[in-house]
Amino acid sequence: MAKKTFFQGAVVLAAAGVIIKALGAVFRIPLGNMISDLGMGYYQTAYTIYVMFLVLSNSGLPVAISRMVSERIAVGDHGSAHRVFRMSFGILFIIGFASFYICFFQTELLLGFFSNMGASAFAVKAIAPALLIVPLMAAFRGYFQGMQNMRPTANSQVSEQFFRVATGLALAYLLLPKGEEFAAAGAAFGATSGSIFGLITVAAIYFMYRRGQKARGDRAPGGRPSDARGTGAGGTGSAGATGADAAGGSAAHGGSGADARAARRRGRKEPAGEIMLRIFAIAVPITIGAAIMPIMNTIDLKIISTRLDYLGWQGNEVLKAYGQLAGFANPLINLPQILTQAVAMSLVPAVAAAFKSGDTQFLRHNISLGLRTAIIIGLPCAFGMMAIPGNILLLLYPAEPQAALSAAPFLFILAFGIIFLSTVQTLTGVLQGIGKQMIPVANLSVGVIVKVAVSLSLIAIPSVNIKGVAVGTVCAYIVAAALNLLAVKRYTGTDFDIRLTFVKPIVAAATMCLTVILAQKACAALIGGSGFAGNAASTLFAVCAGAAVYIAMIFVSGAITEEELALLPKGAKLAKLSAKFRRPKKG
């Protein structure tokens, strides 16, 4: 039943994630065309600061809430479960208010850390109220996730994103005549608007749920009366949580769950101090891990602003370059993560179960298959973007052709990093599944150190300039991926089939890359690809041709075995089709 509940919750959150990413594309692409690379520089500066503060409240603490609520409900202590929620709500309010105060009332001081970024103050102030509201949403979401009810989280996420997109685009359009800095502030206020509606959605669900509990006599499942402040049925953790949760799920009743049970047997409330300590014990390591990527982006902003200022770049030039890197190229790199993150999230419970049961063979099979799946997904995305980066950006940002072409080198470099980012995410899931959740944090931290060294060295070269930051990011992923791979081999003894895992997918992706380049050039020559319509047609044709060739090559090369194909929906038919493509085996 627990497995069924987990997968149901995972499907709900995955579906919401796809919708949110689609809405995000609806937001960013028109926004980039509307406010130009300069406006995107203002917006992205504010958004980078926003994410840096948000990670403090929106990563570890919701996971801690979900886990502790689940633990207490599992032992029948419904009152303590709700006390965890109420105390966490207070903690998150304090963190949110402090973040809001710094961003709204100390904007100039905050932006003073970054050279030439002062014009982004309007956008930072516009997005600051969201830092107060989103943490409160996170408390409600963590509470429901603790009961393995993912629908409130999914509903509030979709509501938040919808109003963020609608409000942000509308305000950016209305404020554009006043200047790019005001249009960027309007776009940034979309996050505030979205958070308000997201909070209203999840809070309404909460109050309806509580009212329903009281109407039913506030009884827990199985007929046991719950505490007057109690909640309903429980579960074991958050479907969207980190691997620390997944790996620790089997021991859920050992930690704070055992404390809660012991306290209930002694007829006393669990001390508030113990609850607080447990919350922070769970939340702090997860928050540290989640903070690394936003810190990396903030480091990018600092390096770009200071080093380019040293090279004599003017404020608007710096903002435009940052807008091209972070506003135009980076969002495309994040798109493949929808799929690779799903692989990593699905891998955690499978690895954890095999590891706990001591089934070494099944553990290693899952690890090998998981990494190979991530490689098969990541390679075509990387090679495809590297093949025609300028054409892709011109397709998405036709109103800003010069900025799109200027961003093409950034996309080419960052696209190469998709391969290693996919590997990092998947192997992080493996390490979390076997209870080694701090190892990927340490490995990514080493990667960040390498990134800073590479970025600082390369950005000072005038001919390289801001492209050095993109190279540094790729280096960080390479280092983290290599260290994660070594750690997985050390702790699980998994031997990866180099030919099956790497060689065959790379050959397929390289063939696809050549196809994309030739198909785009041939189509452009045939219909004329200089205008928007010609570029759009030739680019879409090339992408479709490349995808068809890649899929065919995967079948022909045997990068996916027939046994693995048989596990998929309609897998028996796919396995037969694959067998027809492949060469007969020699006797």
Please write the tens of the pLDDT for every residue from 323-379: 888 888 888 887 777 777 767 766 665 676 678 778 888 888 888 888 988 899 899
What pLDDT score was predicted for residue 567?
55
Residues whose CB falls within 8 Å of the CB of residue 251, separated by 6 or more in sequence, listed in order: none
What pLDDT score was predicted for residue 279?
82
Centroid of chain to Cα 206: 26
Q: How far is 77 from 227, CA to CA, in rounded Å? A: 8
Question: What percent of the chain lies above the pLDDT cut of 70?
Answer: 79
Q: How far is 98 from 95, CA to CA, in rounded Å? A: 5
Burial status of residue 423 (CB atoms within 10 A of its CB: 0-12, 13-18, 19 or more):
buried
pLDDT band at 321 (very low <50, low <70, confident <90, very high): confident
What pLDDT score was predicted for residue 7?
38
Please write the tens of the pLDDT for every residue from 9-66: 545 666 776 788 778 878 888 898 898 888 888 898 899 889 889 888 777 788 778 7
What pLDDT score was predicted for residue 57?
79
Mean pLDDT for all residues in the chain: 80
Residue 60 and residue 282 in contact, taking contact as beta carbons nearer than 8 Å: yes
Average pLDDT over residues 204-214: 84
What pLDDT score was predicted for residue 195?
95
Using DSSP's 3-state secondary structure scheme, residue 434 falls into: coil
Please write the tens of the pLDDT for every residue from 453-491: 999 899 888 888 889 999 999 999 999 999 999 999 999
Q: How far is 210 from 474, CA to CA, in rounded Å? A: 48
Rg over alpha carbons for the chain, rounded to the nearest Å, is 25
Burial code of 501-510, b = ≥16 C-beta within 10 A, e = fewer? bbebbebbbe
Please write the tens of the pLDDT for every residue from 512-542: 999 999 999 999 988 876 688 889 999 999 9
- Kindly tell me if the per-residue pLDDT of 316 is higher than 80: no
Q: How far is 239 from 346, CA to CA, in rounded Å? A: 9
> Closest by alpha carbon to 370, among 332, 341, 336?
341
Q: Break the chain into its structural domains and give their ranges.
A: 1-284, 335-496, 498-581
Please write the tens of the pLDDT for every residue from 427-448: 988 887 787 878 888 998 999 8
Enumerate long-range contacts of 112-117, CB under 8 Å, 24 or more apart: 113/302, 114/45, 114/301, 114/302, 114/305, 114/306, 115/305, 115/306, 115/309, 115/318, 116/305, 116/308, 116/309, 116/313, 116/314, 116/315, 116/318, 116/319, 117/45, 117/301, 117/305, 117/315, 117/318, 117/319
Please write the tens of the pLDDT for every residue from 370-410: 898 889 989 999 999 999 999 999 998 888 889 889 999 99
Which residue is associated with the tokens 């969002």?
Answer: 331
Q: How far is 341 from 24, CA to CA, in rounded Å? A: 17
Please write the tens of the pLDDT for every residue from 275-312: 888 888 777 776 777 777 777 777 777 788 777 777 77
Using DSSP's 3-state secondary structure scheme, residue 231 falls into: coil
